[in-house]
Amino acid sequence: MTDHGRDERTPLLRRTSETGRNADRIATPDEDFAHLNRQVKIWRRRRWASFVCSGFLILGFVALLILSGVLSRSRGKLHMGSSICLTPSCIHAASEILYNLSPDYQNIDACTDFNHLVCDGFDARHDIAADRSAVSTISSMADNGKTILRHILESPYPNASQHSTFSPLNLLNVAASTDEDNFNMMQETYNSCINETALQKLGVQPLLSLVREVANHFPLGPGNSYGESGKLGENDFPQLSDAILFLQQIGVTTFESLGTGADDKNPEVVIIQASPAGLTLPSPEYYEDADTTQQYQDMLQAVFSAFIPGNSSRDDAAKLAQSVVDLERKIAEATPPPEDQQDVTKYYNIIKVSEARTIAPAIGLDSVIEGLVPSDYNVDSMLLAFPEFLANVSQILTETDKATVQSYLIWKTIDTYADAVQGPEVAPISRFYNVMNGLDPETKAERWQTCVSYVDSTVGWILSRFFIEAAFSADAKNFGDHIVTDIKQQFISKLNALSWMDDSVKKLAINKVNNIDQKIGYPTESPDITNPEDVQAWYAGLEITNSFFNNTVSSNRFSINQSWSELGKPVDHGRWYMQADTVNAYYSPVGNEIVFPAGIMQFPVFQYDLPAYVSYGAFASVAGHELSHAFDSSGRHYDEHGNYTDWWTNHTVKEFTKRADCFVEQYSNFSVPGANGEPLHVNGRLTLGENIADAGGISAAFAAWKQRQQSTPDEDLPGLDYFSHEQLFFIFYSQFWCNKSRKEQLIQRIYTDPHSPAFARILGTMANSRAFREAYNCPVKAPTCELW
């Protein structure tokens, strides 16, 4: 992943934690957004699963008792000739559906209140944990996966496991030895994090030392104090550039997010990329709220009192805090809107690296880049998104006191590394972020959860290797591959049937679908996580010790170096940008690839031994969603080879835009309660690509399932004969999106998230599905908006 995420377009889910800021966030350069946690299911295939198996037996017994009562109330929609599936998996799936449904589901109008019908039971049974800002089906999957990962990390090397061909018992001696070395490295990473006694004893001293280094890179100079440092002048530019370079090397982002990635117009070439950054608060809107900025300023004052070098600075902490907030407020005013930042037609801007100094002399981006690239790389051009933003920030800095600039750099360092230390000096930071997320100021996640996420972001491919060995199977991988292939075939059929797309464009679009690379479960190159030697080679150069802080710095340096070392090399098409245990998926337009980690291929989204309407309703819709991104408002700009180019005719663009505008208007009518109680509307333009993908995904998935059903009829699930199989298809889709969020989380996502709120992803997608309206016999059968 590039540091600003150009290579990997918006994934299925926004990759932010549903916990407070500190719960899952340890500073890593790849975490512009924190990992959305982990997941899993195949419990019975795990060496530690005996206690879970007994729990499942109890669940099955209880479910049968419950279902026997439900059967007596059923409407009698059992399909003629269909048998009832009474396997443990089917009983589990049926009970899960019934638990999530509204208790009053028979009296709710599915055509108008489907979100309540499918999720009211979920809402009633799930409280949001004290350290979380939301609870959802997705977070439950993630929690299940995290539990598995914890067992892996806290257990000895599984040398007796033979679950798969690459299990420890089936490895050759040399490979097994390497595998155990990798495991030990992973476990040491975890142990350095989980040892809070050592962290508390050390306190914030490592971070204080790092802050002094930052101050040395950008000193105020002799005779200058925090009260009288003067404005940033031309003579200060080289030192500011040097400080920004130092921070970039340890994973601290300042005014620009810098990284590398495939060139949108030449996707076989890795280029330097830069995009707007600089803000601490979630979005520019937050800088307009007086209460929020005052809370932010109070937190900064406490932090500066503890960390700013020099005793005299303690008296200036309040002034510095206010000046940093003012600086960020000015940067916020210059920041492009989020919908523009994901629009390739607006962010794609190639310049000579040498021009960056002319655009923004105060920052000296060219010097920063020279210090990051490999010594043998010829620095020439780069992608600079929104050069006017960089120019404005440069001008803002020349009007800012040096002390404010230094304090800002120090703050960004502290913010990045605060989770790597413990002590009262950093407590105000966690309190502030907790309040921002609607949590109790003093709450914190269980340490093991934080440390599982830390390991995943540090040596994630080692952890992924043991995850798939424990919780994924060849059968699951093959079934997933089959579903994705079905989706591609159905999407081609839909393209062929379009009347508004010109034939010349249609032919190229079909070629694009056929050329999509589908990646299922886990990577087998860059690295091949089934091969211990390949995994070991991937992490060569990463030094892990018993020091949590040093490991965090080392990991950041390693990731930064790895990213910049890709310059001058061909694009690595084998690389994945999500770990295998991640509950998410993505489409990359420059790679023209769709990626589905094993983490999302778990119950209740996916299970190969259930009736097909389960996995097609949920997972196939995910697959269709990702494939639809190839033709959404962003993906349509890329051809079958991942080149950003105009390959659509003017007529086709006009027809697409007319239909896309329907989605913009539709979703802009959804709202959540704002901070003052007034409705805060969804940004239909920001969420357009995701809304189009949701509609296209479920349409292709339903068609794929109906095609499969012709040759492989489905069994009924017990206790669910009130619903037809078609209706259950949409229930399984929608229950994937059951979600209960705090008000603060909903507001934040309206401003920042390219995905619509979960309830809107249910209601909007159902309104746009003709198959849904027919399945539930809605008065109006035509979809509200339709593209594919």
3-state class (DSSP) for residue 11: coil
% helix, strand, coil for the chain, step of 5? 55, 10, 35
pLDDT of residue 526: 97
504 CB neighbour count, 10 Å cutoff: 12
- Rounded CA separation 380/359 (Å): 16
Domain boundaries, the chain: 43-147+457-567+577-775, 204-420
DSSP 80-104: TTPPBP-SHHHHHHHHHHHHHS-TT
- Rounded CA separation 251/693 (Å): 33
pLDDT of residue 316: 86
Residue bearing tokens 């500073």: 27
- Rounded CA separation 86/83 (Å): 9
Q: Where are the beta strands (DSSP E) in 584-658?
A: 586-588, 593-597
pLDDT of residue 79: 55
3-state class (DSSP) for residue 40: coil
pLDDT of residue 46: 34
Helix and strand numbers (H, E) in the chain are: 31, 11
pLDDT of residue 688: 98
Report residue 782 as tokens: 């035509």
CA angle 711, 713, 714 (to 5 degrees): 145
**Kind of pairing between the strands at 593-597 and 586-588:** antiparallel
- Rounded CA separation 9/259 (Å): 15
- Rounded CA separation 200/196 (Å): 6
How many alpha carbons lie under 13 Å from residue 392 in its C-beta half-sphere? 17
Give the chain's residues under pLDDT 50: 1-8, 16-76, 78
- Rounded CA separation 253/559 (Å): 14
DSSP run (H or E) holding 201: helix 196-202
Q: Where are the beta strands (DSSP E) in 277-407?
A: 350-352, 381-384
pLDDT of residue 171: 81
Residues 477, 46 contacting (CB under 8 angstroms): no
Output the CA–CA distances (angstroms, integers) from residue 581 to 103, 468, 529, in the order listed: 33, 8, 12
CA angle 612, 616, 617 (to 5 degrees): 110
- Rounded CA separation 543/47 (Å): 31
Give 338: exposed, middle or buried? Use CB within 10 Å, 0-12, 13-18, 19+: middle
Chain center to CA of 437: 17
**DSSP class of residue 644?**
B
The CATH homologous superfamily for domain 43-147+457-567+577-775 is Collagenase (Catalytic Domain) (3.40.390.10)
**Residue type, position 473, single letter:** S
Give the per-residue SS3 of 286-323.
HHHCHHHHHHHHHHHHHHHHHHCCCCCHHHHHHHHHHH
DSSP 234-267: GGGHHHHHHHHHHHHHTT---SEEEEEEEETTEE
Q: Backbone phi, then psi, for 573, in 5-degree steps?
A: -75, -10
Answer CATH for 204-420 from 3.40.390.10, 1.10.1380.10, 3.40.50.970, 1.10.540.10: 1.10.1380.10
Residues 133, 437 contacting (CB under 8 angstroms): yes
- Rounded CA separation 519/593 (Å): 7
